[in-house]
Copies of this chain bind each other. A is one copy, B any other.
Amino acid sequence: MTMIGVLGGMGPLATVDFLDRVVRLTDAARDQDHLPMVVAHLPQTPDRSRSILAGDALPLPYLLHGIELLNRNQVGLVVIPCNTSHHWYAQLSAHSAAPILHIAQTCVAALPGDTGSVAILATRGALASGIYQAALDARGIGAVVPPEPVQLQVDACIRAVKAGALDAAAAAIGSALARIAGLGVGAAIMGCTEIPVAARGLAVPPVMLVDSTTELARATVAFALARGWNKAA
Which residues of chain B come closer than 8 Å to A30, judged between CB atoms? 47, 159, 162-163
Is B9 a contact partner of A13 (Cβ separation < 8 A)? no
* Interface hit among A35-43, A97-105, A112-120, A199-207: A35-43
Instruction: Encode A38-70 as 1/0 by CB contact (under 8 A) with B.
Output: 111111111100000000000000000000010
Distance in angstroms between the alpha carbons of A121 and B211 in the assembled complex: 37
- Chain B residue with the shortest CB-CB distance to A37: B41
Q: Is the CB of B13 within 8 A of A16?
A: no
Residues of A in contact (CB 8 Å), total 43
Residue contact B42 to A36, C-beta cutoff 8 Å? yes
Q: Which residues of B contact A37 (CB under 8 A)?
A: 9, 39, 41
B38 pairs with A163, CB closer than 8 A: no
Q: Is the CB of B41 within 8 A of A36?
A: yes
Q: Does A91 contact B (CB under 8 A)?
A: no
Binding site for B on A (CB under 8 A): 1, 3, 9-13, 15-16, 19-20, 23-24, 26, 28-47, 69, 72-73, 159, 162-164, 230, 232
